[in-house]
Every structure is written in C-alpha cells, then in structure tokens.
Amino acid sequence: MMKESIRQALSQREKRVNRAEGLTPAAVLIPIYERAGECYLIVTKRTEKVNYHKGQISFPGGVHQAGDKTLRETALRESWEEIGLNPRDVEILGELDDIVTVTSNYAVSPFVAAIPYPYEFRASPEEVEEIIEVPLAALLDNCNFREELQFLQGKLTPQYFYQYSGWVIFGATARMLKQFLEIVFRA
C-alpha cells in the first residue's frame, strides 16, 4: 500500500496547531485502505438529526470530550461511535494541520489512518446516513475539483469542492482533503 509513502510525506512537515480562544477542540479520522491496488478513503453523509453540518459529507469525528486524553483518542472514539471502526484496527500514519470550521467554531485536528480491507462498518443511525468509499484517483482527477472565491467573515477566501458519484465534498472536509492530496501527491 501507499501506507509508508503517506506516513513519510506527513512526517516531513510541521503540523500547524490552532488553539485560539473561542474555538472548540475536535478531531476527525481520515481512514484509508487499499483494494485491488487502488487506495480509497472513507467519508460519511451526516444525518439531518445532528446539530451541525446536517446532510454534509465529512470524515468521522467530533468534539473532544472530558474522557478523551488526547485529540487522537477523540478521533478514534468518534470513528468507533459513528462508523463502527474499532480503534485496534486503526494505524495512525500522521496528522494534517488543524482546520477551523467557520459555522461551528471548531478547531479540528485531522488524523490520517490506514485501516484493513474488507471491513464491516456499522453506521450510527443518529449521526451517519451513509458511509461512502471514495477512490483517491477520483479526488486526484482535476475534472472532479473546483475552487471558488467566496466572502467568509468579510474576507475573500478560496473554497474547494470535490465531486464524486453525485456527492459534493466542501467546507472543512474539502480543505483537509486538499491539504492531504497536496502533501502526499503534490497535487
């Protein structure tokens, strides 16, 4: 698998941490696996029942809770709760920079992880409407990517959009994806 090249690419950089006042610490897991020589990652379509980002495509994750010793534990716990991914089956390969969500004021720490395939996922009916397996090749295809400038909090800011099989990945998830693809594939 590309596991070692992903680990190496992520280890050759300094993670930017954002612990600004007023931001709620959160973490997500970017689960990656190999099937038939091709790499895939897992995203979820959130239900309409959740408090924030209803119906959006996101990585499994959530808010840091008092029982979590680290943000890594938060990402693992949330992945277990949302998609039934057992922490023992996860190999953390590295981290991306913290990403701040504009609408919910989270400082999200993304953890990139290798997981086994095949895997029997279990979606939480409260949080996850669907578990989506996305081939990295589709995300690396420029035909499935667009960038727009939008005003956010009074500033003109680039926003990214990835399309795959009728789904649109945008917002913080798209920013994490863009950083991951740039670091690992220089895309």
Identify whether 182 is part of a domain. Answer: no
- CATH number of the domain where residue 83 is located: 3.90.79.10
Asked if residue 1 has pLDDT above 60, the reply is no
What pLDDT shows up at residue 130? 95
DSSP E strand boundaries for the chain: 24-35, 38-46, 57-58, 61-63, 91-95, 99-100, 106-114, 128-135, 145-152, 155-164, 167-169
Identify whether 150 is part of a domain. Answer: no
Domain that holds residue 9: 3-137
What pLDDT shows up at residue 142? 95
DSSP symbols for 89-112: G-EEEEEPPPEE-TTT-EEEEEEE
d(CA 1, CA 105): 35
Which residues, 6 or more positions from 64, have their beta carbon under 8 angstroms from its beta carbon?
24, 25, 26, 27, 71, 74
Identify whether 158 is part of a domain. Answer: no
How much is the average pLDDT of 170-182? 96
For the segment 131-154, what is each residue's pLDDT rounded down to a tens digit? Answer: 999 999 999 999 999 999 988 778
Identify whether 185 is part of a domain. Answer: no
**Tally of domains in the chain:** 1
How much is the average pLDDT of 27-48? 95
d(CA 113, CA 184): 13
Identify whether 23 is part of a domain. Answer: yes
What pLDDT shows up at residue 187? 53
Identify whether 143 is part of a domain. Answer: no
Mean pLDDT of the chain: 93
Asked if residue 50 has pLDDT above 90, the reply is no
Confidence of residue 12 (pLDDT cuts 50, 70, 90): very high
